[in-house]
């Protein structure tokens, strides 16, 4: 049985819902964070996901009006973490909850990246492929921001790693 390709409209709806879920998740994580760097990172990621949702909504409106949606260029990777660290002069030591939340956020970000990759693969139109690929690239940059935050906290505070999981 041949796999059915989703329409651009249904793919856009799925993508906007995923971005809104991401925004809500990172807002929730920011409210729970005890460490200022973790809080600022989660807030910045919530803002980025909100921006992604708005860009996808703009593409949906353009499609509904029979216009080719704009696909703005991706933001440069690895600058978000630097911006966050520059805003924070000194941060309180992270709690175990902050570290766990960062780890969970990394896994969540990987899932979002993979969803955008699958939407890229299933895209019918060039603009659609470009949009989802850009979102995939930005999600990877956001995952790297989370990893940078986690590594920064590990290297600047006395945080012991939990034992590795047995496979």
pLDDT tens digits, one per residue of 70-116:
887 777 666 777 777 777 755 667 888 888 999 999 999 999 999 99
Q: How far is 66 from 14, CA to CA, in rounded Å?
A: 20
According to the CATH classification, is domain 8-156 in 1.20.1260.10? yes
Q: How far is 13 from 10, CA to CA, in rounded Å?
A: 5
Contact present, 103 and 150 (Cβ < 8 Å)? yes
Our CA dihedral for 141, 37, 100, 115, rounded to 10 degrees, sits at -20
According to DSSP, residue 70 is labeled: P
pTM: 0.73
Sequence spans of domains, the chain: 8-156
Give the model's pLDDT for residue 160. Answer: 58
Q: How far is 102 from 55, CA to CA, in rounded Å?
A: 26
**Mean pLDDT, the chain, as a whole number?**
84
Tokens describing residue 70: 């704009």
């Amino acid at each position: 049985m041949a796999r059915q390709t989703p329409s651009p409209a249904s793919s856009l709806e799925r993508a906007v819902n995923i971005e809104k879920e991401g925004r809500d998740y990172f807002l929730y994580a920011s409210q729970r964070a005890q460490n200022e760097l973790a809080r600022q990172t989660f807030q910045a990621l919530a803002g980025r996901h909100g921006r992604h949702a708005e860009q996808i909504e703009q593409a949906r409106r353009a499609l509904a009006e029979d216009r080719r949606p704009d696909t703005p260029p991706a933001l440069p990777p690895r600058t978000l973490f630097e911006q966050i660290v520059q805003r924070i002069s000194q941060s309180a030591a992270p709690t175990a909850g902050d570290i766990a939340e960062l780890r969970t956020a990394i896994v969540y970000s990987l899932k979002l990246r993979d969803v955008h990759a699958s939407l890229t693969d299933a895209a019918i139109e060039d603009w659609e492929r470009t949009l989802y690929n850009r979102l995939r690239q930005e999600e990877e940059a956001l995952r790297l921001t989370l990893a940078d935050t986690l590594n920064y906290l590990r290297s600047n505070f006395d945080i012991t790693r939990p034992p590795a999981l047995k496979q």
